[in-house]
Amino acid sequence: MKKKSLKWMFALIGAALLSGSLLTACSEEEKNGNEGGEGGGSGESEPELNFEGSPYITQVLDYRPAPGQFVNTMPSYEEGDTQETMNAKVLSTIGNGKNGVITLGAYGGYVVVGFDHTIQNVEGEKDFRIVGNAFIGNSEPAIVMVAYDKNQNGKPDADEWYELAGSEYYKKPTIKGYEITYFRNEKDHVPTPDLENYLSDDTYCPWTDNQGRSGYVYKNIYHDQDYFPKWITDNQIVFKGTLLADNGVDNGPDAYARWTLNAYDWGYADNTKDGDVFDIGWAVDTEGQVVKLPGADFIKIYTGVNQYCGWVGEVSTEVGKIEDLHVLANQ
């Protein structure tokens, strides 16, 4: 009897200890679950998004054109202008449904804009439009990137940008990781005219790139202002991105339209007449993998071609108004 009693006693003690351990474990699990969300996750959840607002851009976060024949005139630079005042001039030109046009200059020049809401990524539909000044035979394509403000801090963070993969993205001539540096001419620079080719200076604004090439943003006889953005105090500007193949074709001196700047199939700004439409679903990461975004809060547009086309000048993207197609359709 004594042996049986002892066995029962030890059994009851063991059960009590086991029960206590289980209760403690459950309590800790419940605590962790409440802190980290269902399944013990990080607690992060998608913020509630606002897809309604103005169909047009309401802010310009940055405007940094590369040197070009329309820089400092579209929009116009005035003595004393700063980055902030130039951003404001861009907004007054193309923001809030305005029908003006700005230049981005040669390859890499860009503008970063935002809306007062998130542009919704609607599957199977185009989400926004960018108007330029392209027409048949005169396309100056720009690459478009989007950023989704996942952390809701009101600005596009470096790790939130995704390129929209247009028709040329996966083609062999397209160069990823391209980098170019433009240099401001020295004050004692002496112009070297080439009037036969309509140039007032063919050694103006030198550049070098990471492909071992170099050249100039020639100054032509039609536009004599400073081509280097005057509000930027640095004597050189660096741009990085994807480089598209040249789209300009020289048809020879006897052709009525000597230079033809051909459009790409789809997916680029200032590429076709009446504007170009974009699907946020085209977004890819730096490895070219498709990224599914709920929408876009910011858009970056930059000139995608590095080519000089005779009397036409450098390929330089122009940008007009930018529209949320879903909001526009509901007005």
Task: Note whether 276 and 221 are same-domain residues.
Answer: yes
Mean residue pLDDT across the chain: 89
* Containing structural domain, residue 22: 2-40
Neighbours of 251 (CB within 10 A): 12
Task: Note whether 135 and 198 are same-domain residues.
Answer: yes
From CA 39, how far away is CA 257, in angstroms rounded?
66
CA distances from 213 to 104, 129, 198, 228, 321 (A): 22, 34, 24, 20, 34
Which residues on adjacent β-strands are paired with residue 260? 249
The predicted structure's pLDDT at residue 46: 65
In-domain check, residue 280: yes
Task: Note whether 10 and 83 are same-domain residues.
Answer: no
In-domain check, residue 104: yes
**Residues 90-130: pLDDT tens digits?**
999 999 999 999 999 999 999 999 999 999 999 999 999 99
Residue 282 or residue 257, greater confidence: 282
Task: Note whether 138 and 174 are same-domain residues.
Answer: yes
**Position 317 confidence tier, pLDDT thresholds 50, 70, 90:** very high
**Position 11 confidence tier, pLDDT thresholds 50, 70, 90:** very low
Task: Note whether 157 and 21 are same-domain residues.
Answer: no
Q: Which of 272, 281, 274 is nearest to 323 (CA)?
A: 274
Cα-based torsion angle of the residue sequence 223, 204, 300, 175 in order, rounded to the nearest 10 degrees: 130
**Residues 23-49: pLDDT tens digits?**
444 444 444 443 333 333 334 566 789
If one counts the domains in the chain, the total is 2
